[in-house]
Amino acid sequence: MSCEVNLTNQLRERGFRITPQRSVILHILGHAKAHLTPAEVYQQASISLPGLTETTVYRTLEFLAQTGLAQTVFNGKSKYAYEISGYAHHHLVCRQCGTEVEIPHVKAEALFKELQESTGFQLMQNHISFFGLCPVCQED
Amino acid sequence: MSCEVNLTNQLRERGFRITPQRSVILHILGHAKAHLTPAEVYQQASISLPGLTETTVYRTLEFLAQTGLAQTVFNGKSKYAYEISGYAHHHLVCRQCGTEVEIPHVKAEALFKELQESTGFQLMQNHISFFGLCPVCQED
DNA sequence: TTCCTTATTGCAGTTAACTGCAATAAGGAT
DNA sequence: ATCCTTATTGCAGTTAACTGCAATAAGGAA
Ligand SMILES: [Mn+2]
Ligand SMILES: [Mn+2]
Ligand SMILES: [Zn+2]
Ligand SMILES: [Zn+2]
C-alpha cells in the first residue's frame, strides 16, 4: 500500500517477519527529513500504534541497522539517531556545538577500498562520523 | 614524581586545575594496555582514591577528550571507552562480534586533509571507528 | 601563610539504553 | 480455516550516562 512496501518485502525475502511495529517505524524513517532519535521515532509511531513500547523501538532500530536498511548516527554523545540507508554519505560533527556537515561517500571511497583490501573487512559503505571543530568553534 | 607529570603540566599551562582525581585517572590511562571503560577506570582509580565517584570519572574522561589528552572510542554499543592520545590510529570494528583492528592514521591522512580543506573543519586527527564485518563474520 | 575566586567534585536524582523472560502473533504447513 | 513453530513483542527491572546544585579545594593574590 504505502511507500515502505519495497523495504518490507526485502525483509520478508530475507526470512524476517513483518510486524505492524516494523512497518510503522520504517514508514516514519522513510519520510524523515533528518536523523531521528529513538524517542522521536517512538513518539511518532505511538500515534498509529498506541501499544508500542520504547523497548521495541530500540530493538527495531538496531534490527534495521543490522540488516542494512537503516544507519546509526554516532553524534558522540551516547544518544543514538537513525536514518534510512539512502544516499551514501558521512558526517563531520563539531565536538563543541554539534553542527553536522554531510560528506558524499565518494570522497572516502578510495580509503574504504584500501582498508577493505588490506584487512579483509567488509565495511558498511556509509555514515561514518568524523569529529572535530567547525569553523565557528575554532575561535576559542 | 610519576609518569603523567608532562600531561598534568600541559593542563596547568592551559589554565586547568590539577586535582588528585585527574592525576590518578591520567596515570591509569597512561599505563593502560587497551581501551578502558569508565567503569574500569573507576574501579582502578578507587583503590588510590577511595572517595572518588563515578560521576567524576565520566566528567574527567570527557574533559580529557575535550582537551585532546585522551580519545573516545566508539564501539557502536553506547558504552564508552577511552585511551590516551598517543600513536595516531583508527579502528575497524566488526558489527557482529566486536573484533577491532587498528589502522595507522597515515592511511587516512589524504582524506582528512581533503575534508578539512573543503569544509573548514579542524578534524581530530585520530581514532575514527569504521564499522563492518570481519572476515570471520562474513560467512553468514 | 592566609584569603579569595571559581573550577571541580560529590550527591541525589533523571534519562537513555539494555536485558531476561513469559506472552503474543507472523506466516508456513495441514 | 486451523494449527504449529518460533520470531518478535511487552513488561519489569537493570545498567550506563548525564545533570543541577551545593560543598569543596586548587592555585593565584595579598
Ligand atoms: Mn546522515
Ligand atoms: Mn585505539
Ligand atoms: Zn562548532
Ligand atoms: Zn566479526
Closest CA to B90 of B51, B122, B53, B128: B128
Q: Quick one: CATH architecture of B3-84?
A: Orthogonal Bundle (1.10)
Percent of chain B at pLDDT above 90? 74
Q: Is the fold of A3-84 the same as that of A89-139?
A: no
Give the nearest partner residue to A122 out of B66, B111, B138, using CB atoms: B138
Rounded distance, CA B70 to CA B122, Å?
17
How far does CA B14 lie from the centroid of its chain? 20
The mean pLDDT value for A85-91 works out to 92
B17: closest CA of chain A, how far (Å): 19
Average pLDDT over all residues of chain A: 92
- pLDDT at residue B116 is higher than 80: yes
pLDDT number for residue A2: 67
Q: How many CB pairs under 8 A join A and B?
A: 87
C-alpha distances in angstroms, B26 versus A133, B17, B74, B97? 24, 13, 20, 30
Where along chain B do its domains lie?
A: 3-84, 89-139
CATH topology for the B89-139 domain: Dna Ligase; domain 1 (3.30.1490)
List residues forming the annotated binding site of A. Answer: 94, 97, 109, 134, 137
pLDDT number for residue B94: 87
A26: closest CA of chain B, how far (Å): 21
Average pLDDT over all residues of chain B: 92
Chain A residues with CB under 8 Å of B138 CB are: 122
pLDDT number for residue B140: 61
Q: Which nucleotides of C are covered by protein (CB under 7 A)?
A: 7-13, 16-20, 25-28
pLDDT number for residue B2: 67
Q: How far is the CA of A36 from the C1' of C1 (A)?
A: 58
pLDDT number for residue B63: 97
B137 appears as a binding residue in the annotation = yes
Q: Please, which residues bridge with residue B70 across strands? A: B84
How far does CA B101 lie from the centroid of its chain? 15
Half-sphere exposure of A100 (CA within 13 A, CB side): 14
Residue B105 gets which letter from DSSP? G
Q: Are B111 and A114 an interchain contact pair (Cβ–Cβ within 8 Å)?
A: no
pLDDT number for residue A140: 61
10 Å Cβ neighbour count for A67?
Answer: 14
Residues 2-61 of B with CB under 8 A from A: none
| In contact, A90 and A108? CB cutoff 8 Å | yes
- pLDDT at residue B120 is higher than 60: yes
